[in-house]
Structure 1
Amino acid sequence: MVSNPRRRTTLLDAGIEVLARLGARGLTFRAVDEHAGVPTGTTSNYFASRDALLRELGDHVFVRLAPDPAVVAERLSAPSSRDLEVLLMQEILERARADRPGYLAMFELRLEASRRPELRDAFTARYRANLDEITAAHVEGGFPGGATTALLLYLAMNGLLLEHLTLPGVLPGGDEGLPELVRQLVETIVPG
């Protein structure tokens, strides 16, 4: 396999865009090449198979969607509270708005894993590790509520993002009402 980290990242970002636009069935080496604006055959030089590309996309989507570490450090320097939790969840919403294709690709990868056992194990392990990190940050960070509260927030935010990104007309209040909906979600789940 070819080793050019910048080109690999370009191809992975193009793969995310293709997944978001065409779904897993539309994810081909040729489609990634075209979206990345590289010569035909480039993607196949970097990834041994379509499954290898999907597995790497499963990891790359977490890198792409991760919050800025400096912003996280700044936020977590404030006292842990339900209000801070509201702000953090609203920032997740803002990141989803800013990178809609990234989040749609994440949902598409989950669906593909549900149909393909060879991907399911790898994706389950990655998502489970993410949930464990989120839970640990919530509990060890001293936020109100325990591990169950962290789990409920995770599930509720995933549901909210899925609704908003796939069928934006479903949630009341439209796009402008989402920050308030997130506030209500957090205030309902997180103890005062």
Structure 2
Amino acid sequence: MSDYLHRTIPNLKPFCFEHHHDSHFINQQWVLVNGISKKKSIYTFKKDNVLEISRKDNVIKTTWTINIQNNFSIETEDGLISVQAYFKDDDILVLNNLDKEEFALYINTTNYEDELNSVEDINTFLKEKYKKKVSNIIYDHKFYYIEQSKEYGPFKVEELAEKVKSGEISAYCFVKDVNEHDYSKRMRIEDLLHEL
């Protein structure tokens, strides 16, 4: 059943008790993405194996457990289900049903200021999240640039920005990541600056 999940959502990290349980899982507000357009559900896994499911004006309390293989058993309205937990990122949780080809996707909104109430809200959340992630990666990374057939670098984006600002180099110079072999991606300094 996990093949179906990994084809649908690649690059998942399996739940690791030591790494995820206390800091990423327990007492976090997980909004269920599946079916959010019909009803919003917030799942909160408590330390004492209580699972709180909040919907509009009511809170359902049920149970969850985890075994030695990091498989979860969760009591739901539909009965007891067994799932494996994965993280796409620290704030995106996937629970894969071990008995069916289906999974539930959750977003951690504990530290997110806006509410997620619709598919549009989720799209906005993901767009902002990955834009920020790309910006952070670009900001910390180093790049070479080529000007008049000569290569310079590597430089961080802030250093390139300063060189452009001072007029030392053109914003239209081609750049490549330190791990790339050539400039075939045709990315310019200006493209990097737009992502910050």
Q: Could you state the TM-score of these two structures normalised by the residue count of structure 2?
A: 0.26
Tell me which protein shows more strand as a share of its residues: 2
Higher Rg: 2
* Greater fraction helix: 1
TM-score by length of 1: 0.26
